[in-house]
Amino acid sequence: MNTVQSIQVLQTVEEFGSLLEQCASENSLLLLDFYADWCGPCRAVAPQFYKLAEEFHPRRVVCAKVNADHARELCMREFVSALPTFKLYRNRECVNTVVGARMEQLRTVLNRQAMDPSVVQIIQTDQPENGRNAAKILLRIFRDVTQNRLGSTNRCLKLSDPDLQTGLLNVPGAMECLFAAGYQEAEDELVLPENEDIDRIRIMMEYLSGFCEKQSHKDIPAATAAPSQTAQIDGNDGGDGAQPDNALSSLDITQTISWIQLLNRVVEPVRTISTYLDPQARARARSIIPTQDLIDAAALKSGCTVDAVSPRAFLRELVRWYKEDFFRWADSFECSRCKTKMQFSGTANPTAEEIIGRPGSVETYRCPADSSHPIYRFPRYNNVNTLLCTRLGRCGEWANCLTFLLSVCARPVKECTSNASVLPWFPACRYISDWTDHVWCEVWLEDEHNPGHFRWVHCDPGGETDQPLLYEDGWGKKLTYVFAYTVPPFTACDGRNADEISRLVDIQDVTWRYTRKFQEVIGRRHRALEAPLAAHLAMRHLAVCAAWNNALSSSFISSCGSQHPFSLAQIARETTSFLNPPAAPSERLPGRQTGSLEWRRARGELGSEEPTWRGSNVVLRPTPNELKQGSFLLRYNAALDIYQRPRSADNSPSAELTSRRLSGPVDCTALVNEAKRTGLKGWHTLTTRWRNISRKVEPDWHMVYLAREEGTAAEYDGRIEWVLDLNGTGYAVGKVSLFACMVCHSADSRAQFVLCSSATEKGAASTDKANRGVTNKTGDIDSASVVAVSGESDTVPGVACVRLTPGSNTLFQSTDFVGAKSLRLDVRLWTETQGSNPSDMAWQQAQLFRQKDTDYVLWPLEWNVELVREETRTARE
pLDDT digits (tens, 9 = 90+) for 523-559: 888 766 788 888 889 999 998 988 887 777 666 666 5
Task: Say yes or no to pLDDT of 413 above 70.
Answer: no
One DSSP character per residue, 566-631 reads SSHHHHHHHHHHTTSPPPPPSSPPP---SS-HHHHHHTT--GGGSPPPBS----B---HHHHHHTE
Max avg pLDDT among 209-218, 458-467, 589-598, 868-877: 458-467
781 DSSP 8-state letter: B
Q: Are 697 and 638 in contact (CB under 8 A)?
A: no
Catalytic-role residue among 23, 42, 177, 545: 42
Which helix (H) or strand (E) covers residue 445, if one does? strand 438-446
pLDDT-based confidence at residue 20 (cuts at 50, 70, 90): very high
pLDDT value at position 485? 97
DSSP, res 789 = E
| Model pLDDT, residue 497 | 76
Specify the pLDDT at position 373.
94
Is residue 779's pLDDT more than 70?
Answer: no
Report how far residue 432's alpha carbon sits from residue 510's, in angstroms, rounded to the nearest whole number.
9
729 CB neighbour count, 10 Å cutoff: 16
* Burial state string for 460-496 with b = 16 or more CB within 10 A and e = fewer than 16: bbbebbbbbbbbbbbbbbebbbbbbbbbbbbebbeeb
37: left (phi over 0), alpha (psi -120 to 50) or beta: alpha
Q: Can you point out the beta strands (E) in 759-845? A: 787-789, 800-804, 811-814, 822-831
Domains of the chain by residue range? 624-756+816-876
Query: What amino acid is encoded at 847 in this protein?
Result: Q
pLDDT band, residue 408 (cuts 50/70/90): very high
805, 742 contact by CB (below 8 A): yes
Round to whole Å and give the CA distance between 234 and 266.
12
> Percentage helix, strand, coil, to 5, in the chain?
35, 25, 40
**Whole-number pLDDT of residue 416:** 43
Residue 455 in this model has a pLDDT that exceeds 90 = yes
Reported confidence tier of residue 344, pLDDT bands at 50, 70, 90: confident
Interval 455-482 mean pLDDT: 90
Structure confidence at residue 387 (pLDDT) = 95
- Please tell me the distance from the alpha carbon of residue 848 to that of residue 737, in angstroms, as a whole number: 18
Establish whether 42 is a catalytic residue.
Answer: yes
Once rounded to an integer, what is the mean pLDDT over residues 498-521? 90
What average pLDDT does range 99-108 have in this prediction? Answer: 83
Please give the Cα distance from 242 to 381 (Å, whole number): 29
pLDDT in tens, 118-139: 777 787 777 888 888 888 999 8
Does the annotation count 367 as an active-site position?
no
Report helix, strand or coil for 79: coil
* pLDDT given at position 739: 92
Res 601: pLDDT: 63
- Listed in sequence order, the DSSP H helices in 689-752 are none
Question: Whole-structure pTM over 0.85, yes or no?
Answer: no
* pLDDT-above-90 percentage for the chain: 32
Q: What is the pLDDT of residue 650?
A: 63
Which pLDDT belongs to residue 602? 62
pLDDT at 229 over 90: no
The reported pLDDT for the residue numbered 604 is 65
Kindly report, residue by residue over 697-718, the tens digit of the pLDDT.
Answer: 998 889 999 999 887 778 789 9
Which of 30-44, 191-205, 483-497, 672-686 is modeled with the greatest confidence?
672-686
Q: Is the pLDDT of residue 865 over 80?
A: yes
Q: Which residues contact 428 (CB under 8 A, 6 or more apart)?
A: 443, 444, 486, 487, 489, 560, 565, 566
pLDDT for the residue numbered 222: 34
Question: If pLDDT is split at 50, 70 and 90, which confidence band does 598 have?
Answer: low
Check residue 465 and report its DSSP letter. B
- The domain 624-756+816-876 belongs to what CATH superfamily? PAW domain (2.60.120.1020)
Cα–Cα distance between 541 and 244 in angstroms, integer? 13
pLDDT tens for each residue of 442-451? 999 988 888 8
Active-site hit among 23, 39, 459, 741: 39
What is the Cβ-side half-sphere exposure of residue 427, based on CA atoms within 13 angstroms?
21
Write out the H or E segment, with its range, that includes residue 439: strand 438-446
Question: What is the percent of the chain with per-residue pLDDT over 70, rounded to a whole number?
Answer: 80
Lowest mean pLDDT among 490-499, 650-659, 682-691, 784-793: 784-793
Residue 624 CA to chain centroid, in angstroms? 45
State yes or no: cis peptide before 488, omega within 30 of 0.
no
**Mean pLDDT, the chain, whole residue set:** 80
CA end-to-end span of the chain: 50
Q: What is the pLDDT of residue 24?
A: 85
